[in-house]
Amino acid sequence: MEAEQRHLQQTFNEEIPLTKAIGIQVVEYTGSSLTLSAPLANNTNHKRTAFGGSLYSVAILAGWGLIYLRLRALGLAGNIVIQESHVRYIHPVSDDIAVTCHIESEAYFQKFINFFNRRDIARISLVSLIEQNSTIALEFEGNYVVNA
């Protein structure tokens, strides 16, 4: 999985300039989840906690990256965009940011792929979480659209 992580990191750096500015790093890809990090130093607000816009960006990119890697593993390509999202800022983040996005189930993802293969467009909803001190600090749900 390390080759996929390196590829995603390169894709982020080359195609999404914001990722370099906020310091996003690909930490772990398991096939069913993706974890990204970003240093607090690049993303602070006036309260010396993580800026809400940075938290939101890292959460969106965790889902985007997970979809990107899964499509790539299947030999598929598509334009991935966020269509709609909902975020809950539950607690301030006062440490480096770490976000994990999981695919709900393989059956759910396969349904998404089947639809994409038939229609050249599909939607999938993913949840990303930021935890701090074993407590959820942010919950993000994003609806992503992929078209060929």
pLDDT tens, residue by residue, 80-136 = 999 999 999 999 999 999 999 999 999 999 999 999 999 999 999 999 999 998 999
Among residues 33, 32, 29, the alpha carbon closest in space to that of 8 is found at 29
- Delimit the domains of the chain by residue range: 2-147
Section 17-28 average pLDDT: 97
Q: In the chain, what is the straight-line distance between the N-terminal and C-terminal CA atoms, in Å?
A: 25
pLDDT at residue 1 tops 80: no
> Which ranges of the chain does DSSP label H, i.e. alpha helix?
2-15, 18-22, 52-73, 106-119
DSSP 11: H
Tell me the pLDDT tens digit for each residue of 32-84. 999 999 999 999 999 999 999 999 999 999 999 999 999 999 999 999 999 99
Beta bridge partners of 95: none
- CATH, range 2-147: 3.10.129.10
